[in-house]
Structures are given as C-alpha cells and as structure tokens.
Amino acid sequence: MTELLAEAVDLRLGYGNQVAVAASRFTIPHRAVTAIIGPNGSGKSTVLNALGGVLEPLAGRLTVLGGSPRVRPPKVSYVMQSLAFPAGTPITVREAVGMGLYPKLGWFGRPSADDRARVERAMERLGVTDLADRHLDELSGGQRQRVYVAQGMTQDHEALLLDEPLTGLDITSARVIDQIIHTERERGHAVVLTTHDLDEARAADWVVLMAGRCVAAGPPAEVLTREHLADAYGLGSLHAHAPEPDVLDDPHKPDAPGHDHSRHQHPH
C-alpha cells in the first residue's frame, strides 16, 4: 500500500474557534478500505468532512489524490450521513441516484446514454432497481441509505467516502452496502468510512483511530490493540483483563448483525 489516497501532516481541524481534531499525522492508502473509528465526538466525521473538501483545515496540510481537497477533486464521491431531502419532496429514486451525475453535467447538462446506463448499474448494485419510480419519502431508512450510496456510486470516482454507512440499518441493506464497501477495492477504488463497530474496522485494510487526535493509523492488527483502544476510549486498568468488546459507544447498532465479516479477511 505505497500509493496514497490522502496524507495529513500536523493537521488541525475545527469549526470556528472550536478545535475538533488536534494536530495529527496519518496516511490513508489508495485502492483499499479504510475505517475511521473512535468514540462519539472523537473527530471521525470531521476528518471525513476534510477529506471530502467540506471543511477547511485550521492548520497543517492535507492532500487528497495529490492535491487540496478544497478544490473538491471530481474523483472523490462523498455520501454524507446527513444527506436527506425534505419530507414530501417529489423526487423519485431514479432521479435521486441520477444526481450523482451533477459534478459532471452541472444542473442543466443532459445525460448521455452512457450516463443513464451508469445510473441503472448503480441502482442494480444497490438493489433498488425495483424502487426506481417510487418517491424517496415512501422508502424505509435502509432503502434510502442504499439510494444515497447508489448516488455516490453514480459519480465518476476513485474514492468513496461514507459517513457511518451501516448505522441502524436493516440486515438486507447493511449486507448490500457492506458488499459495496468490500468490492470497490477490486475495481481500483478506495473506500473511507467512519464506524463505531470494531468488527467493521477489523475487516478493513487500514484503520485510523481517533480521540480528538489521531491515536494511531495502520493495519487493523497494529492499531486495534488494547493499549490504543484504552487511549482512545479511556478504558481504565479495571478492565485490563476483560475481553475486548465487539462494539464500543454505538447507541444505534441494529438488534441483529447486518453482516458477517468472516469472509472479509484481506491481505495487507
């Protein structure tokens, strides 16, 4: 993993005068699955916002695909957790997925036959083709999340950024999106996702562990150690001999597991 998707050097991030991520250094490899993990308020989504060009760094340097993410590289597709349309918005699933073409076409460009085929392929991969003519407000939360990921897939991209894509989903939707996460690499793409789930992080190729700063970054076996987790989550010596939890600080985890990571053992 010598080719980099992103590199942060003494990176500080925040909102206004409030620092969310203290000076941190880390790298994220290209053509790999990277999980950004940490407790609530640790800066996971803040880092993702910076990678997606939504947030200007307070200090330090952040490069994505060799340039500044604030230029919003057209090859980075960001599916935000807060992505939503107002209730009652008369937009169909096909129209929503087609919005992934906006970086290429702008508001008034006409999609080509190849563009329309790209929309259809994305809907097929996310299992929402049969919902194409339904309005978004008719869908379940899991179905809408699949639509939003399909929209991200429609955009021409080298990297797919996903903010907690599996949180609170039904089993079917979680499995479909999980499959997308772990097959994008085979297509020569990078995936960066935020998560609370240690199993999801262990199934990734690379992990960035956050706690208001980057605690550690690297392969899961090197990052998800008891020492690093204790640092990030504040686990005291009282629990030094307790087994590591499968999930830390995730109030939204579904009642039943949405995916089985035993099949996702990737070589590094």
Sign of CA dihedral 55, 59, 60, 66: positive
Spatial separation of the C-alpha atoms in residues 46 and 38, rounded to whole Å: 12
Question: What pLDDT, on the 0 to 100 scale, is given for residue 73?
Answer: 54
**In tens digits, what is the pLDDT along the chain, a chain of 268 residues?**
459 999 999 999 999 889 999 999 999 999 999 999 999 999 999 999 999 999 999 999 999 998 988 765 568 999 876 555 666 678 899 999 998 877 665 666 677 788 889 999 999 999 999 999 999 889 999 999 999 999 999 988 999 999 999 988 999 999 999 999 999 988 999 999 999 999 999 999 999 999 999 999 999 999 999 999 999 998 753 354 444 444 444 444 444 334 444 434 443 3
| Residue count (the chain) | 268
Q: Quote the DSSP letter at residue 249.
A: S
What are 266's two structure tokens?
């990737």
Orientation of helix 171-183 relative to helix 141-154, angle to 10°: 20
Query: C-alpha distances in angstroms, 246 versus 34, 90, 166, 196?
Result: 18, 41, 15, 10
Q: CATH code for 4-236? A: 3.40.50.300
Could you tell me which of 185, 183, 163, 161 has the C-alpha nearest to residue 259? Answer: 183
Question: What pLDDT, on the 0 to 100 scale, is given for residue 213?
Answer: 98
pTM, full prediction: 0.83
Question: What pLDDT, on the 0 to 100 scale, is given for residue 168?
Answer: 86
CA 128 to mean position of chain CA atoms: 20
Spatial separation of the C-alpha atoms in residues 201 and 208, rounded to whole Å: 9
